[in-house]
Amino acid sequence: MNKIIRFIIISISVTIFSCNSSNLKDYDDDCTNFYCETNEPYYTDINIKFSRTTECPNPTIYIMLGHYGEGTIYKEISTDSLEDYIYDIDVEVSINAYYTIYTKYIVNNDTITAIDGDFVYKESYVECDYECWKIKNKHFNINLK
């Protein structure tokens, strides 16, 4: 029993005395290299991934403000000016809105509508005593599967 107590005391002592200030992170040191967006955003770039097919090499992409079939066209993007190897684009939109992204593909003489939608919004958080901002739900995928 004494050996167990002695072992515990020695273990605790070694642990306490082996911790010096160089092993502990200082809050100020942690914050010297951090980055956050401190300006509240009102616009953001959303990323839209799309497909190209033989029958539809340059699809037109529609950004609808609201849900599919209920909203209004916010932007219409022609992909014919993009290089053939590009399969995604970034488009600036307002924050705090629901967007539906869609396009129509022709595959084997059938028209296929690819749709993705989500609410794009901003969220604040505090890091190193700064109010920071991040954008949520800014990636859309209308690829053919």
Higher pLDDT, 116 or 56: 116
Provide the domain limits for residue 135: 43-142
Query: How many domains are there within the chain?
Result: 1
**Within a domain: 103:** yes
User: What does pTM read for this prediction?
Assistant: 0.74
What whole-number percentage of the chain has pLDDT above 90? Answer: 61
3-state SS record for 80-120 = CCCCCCCCEEEEEEECCEEEEEEEEEEECCEEEEEEEEEEE
Q: What is the pLDDT of residue 29?
A: 57
**Within a domain: 15:** no
Place of tokens 């967006």: 37
**Within a domain: 70:** yes
Q: What is the mean pLDDT of the chain?
A: 84
Q: What is the pLDDT of residue 26?
A: 33
Structure confidence at residue 97 as a pLDDT band (50, 70, 90): very high
Q: What is the pLDDT of residue 19?
A: 42
DSSP structure class, residue 5: H
- Residue 87: CATH number of its domain: 2.60.40
The gap from C-alpha 47 to its chain's centroid, in whole angstroms, comes to 9
**Within a domain: 96:** yes
Distance CA(59)–CA(111), nearest Å, equals 12
